[in-house]
Amino acid sequence: MARKSTEMVALTLRIREQLRRKLERAAERNNASLNAEMANRLERSFQKEAEADLATQVDILRAENARLSKSLQGWKELPEANEAVADFMTNWKRMLDERTWIGRVLALSDAERADLLRLISERKPRD
């Protein structure tokens, strides 16, 4: 029969005497039993691991955000890019405004929609 996650279990633990004394002194300082002190310390070690993993993920996301912001800043500084984006948005709005296109666009597969967007964005303006 499987144990419940909230069930308390007895565990035999072998540690050095010096470590046991440190744990007992810490338990006394914290007004806890030796068992409670060991359990709390184990729990905190897992929390610290989780926090370290989270901090690493946050650092990765911040770095990616900075990279993307820098990339976008580069695009903003290019007049051609601004014109291409404006042209794309104009064409996209025009296409959506024409009711006959809406059903066709919605019926496209993801790949076909991506191709359509690419074609629109690469389209050269008429002179």
Q: For the chain, give the percent of residues with pLDDT over 70.
A: 69
CB contact burial 109-126 (16+ within 10 A = b; e otherwise): eeeeeeebeeebeeeeee
Mean pLDDT of 9-24: 93
pTM of the full structure: 0.46
Over residues 45-71, the pLDDT tens digits come to 888 888 888 888 888 888 887 877 777
Q: Lowest mean pLDDT of 7-16, 34-43, 83-92, name the range.
A: 83-92
| Mean pLDDT of the residues in the chain | 78
Percentage helix, strand, coil, to 5, in the chain? 75, 0, 25
Interatomic CA distance for residues 53 and 40, integer angstroms: 20
**CA proximity to 87, closest of 44, 122, 46, 50:** 122
